[in-house]
Amino acid sequence: MDKRILLKSVIYGFSGTILLLAIYFSMVSLISGWSFALSQFLQFWYFFIGLTIGFGIQVGLYVYLKTIINQKKNIQRCSGCIWNNLHCSYDILLRSLFC
């Protein structure tokens, strides 16, 4: 497993977690005020933390799977272009040489 892919997934997942908390606090603060948003968070912190961590995990898994699938498509396209299709365009041929 490539460590860069894993690090990218963790960063995106953590960013998703922080972004969801920021959206919650900004929306509730705009509607009901900062003190209400903070009191609700402190009262139901276990729900908020669980939901935001779950969302971050989903974002991280999505980024991880999307990156892995795109890498496999590029590898298949490159090998298929070189071995199976002799009439590749110059652009695809150059990309296949530098995979």
Q: How far apart are CA 42 and CA 48, in angstroms?
A: 9
In the prediction, which pLDDT does 3 show?
87
Task: At 74, list the tokens.
Answer: 């590029």
- Report the pLDDT averaged over residues 80-99: 53
In the prediction, which pLDDT does 87 show?
47
Q: How far apart are CA 70 and CA 12, in angstroms?
A: 17
Q: What is the pLDDT of residues 30-89, one digit of tens each?
A: 999 999 999 999 999 999 999 999 999 999 999 999 999 888 776 666 555 554 554 445
